[in-house]
Amino acid sequence: MTGRLDSAQPYALGLFRIVVGLLFACHGAASLFGALGGTDGSGGTVDAGTWPGWYAAVIQLVGGSLVLLGLGTRAAAFVSSGSMAYAYFKVHQPEALWPMENGGEASAMFCWALLLLVFTGSGAFGLDRVIASARREREPKAADSERTPVAA
């Protein structure tokens, strides 16, 4: 049983990355474009250039899209996780200690989910993996010539 679950791990991780990236990008799209109800539920957006809301929304949209695609996953997840830690400790935590009390559940969950992706990478279905395999296909020819034993 464990062997089967272990073999499915990259696929489960890839699906996890896709869902987290999509949900994170949706928050950015809602704040920047008023999509999915916007910031206030009636299509409102954050004003361009306002701190920290507009910058957070840009990080959410761009970082979420990169995580969704599995392109630069570790770097995008690192920046995105940091932005959610900032959101939690600067916006939510001063209101109350626990996320249930201060409305910071989404910030806390995104922070930890994205931090997990920093350490695990993109898993299956990511463009990172496609690019890495394409590079490996091109490099063995040059690498083989470097590994040729030299007779002394």
- Predicted confidence at residue 42, as pLDDT, reads 80
Average pLDDT over residues 99-108: 94
Mean pLDDT of 99-125: 95
What is the overall mean pLDDT for the chain? 90
> By percentage, how much of the chain surpasses pLDDT 70?
91
Tens digit of each residue's pLDDT (9 = 90 or more) over 15-74: 999 999 999 999 999 999 988 888 877 888 888 888 888 999 999 999 999 999 999 999
Residue 30: inside a domain, yes or no? yes
pLDDT of amino acid 116: 97
Global pTM value: 0.84
* Cβ atoms 90, 145 nearer than 8 A: no
**Number of separate domains in the chain:** 1
Task: Output the pLDDT for position 101.
Answer: 94
In angstroms, rounded to a whole number, what is the distance separating the alpha carbons of residues 36 and 125?
A: 26
Give the pLDDT confidence score for residue 16 in this predicted structure.
Answer: 97
| In-domain check, residue 95 | yes
Tell me if 7 is assigned to some domain: no
Q: Is 119 domain-assigned?
A: yes
**In whole angstroms, what is the distance from residue 73 CA to residue 90 CA?**
25
d(CA 96, CA 103): 9
Is residue 56 in a domain? yes
- Can you give the pLDDT at residue 10? 92
In a domain, 21, yes or no: yes
pLDDT in tens, 49-60: 888 889 999 999
Residue 141 forms part of a structural domain? no
Give the residue numbers spanning the domain of 55.
12-36+45-125
3-state secondary structure the chain: CHHHHHHHHHHHHHHHHHHHHHHHHHHHHHHHHCHHHECCCCCECCCCCCCCHHHHHHHHHHHHHHHHHCCCHHHHHHHHHHHHHHHHHHHHCCCCCCHHHHCCHHHHHHHHHHHHHHHHCCCCCCHHHHHHHHHHHHCHHHHHHHCCCCCC
Residue 140 forms part of a structural domain: no
| pLDDT for 27 | 94
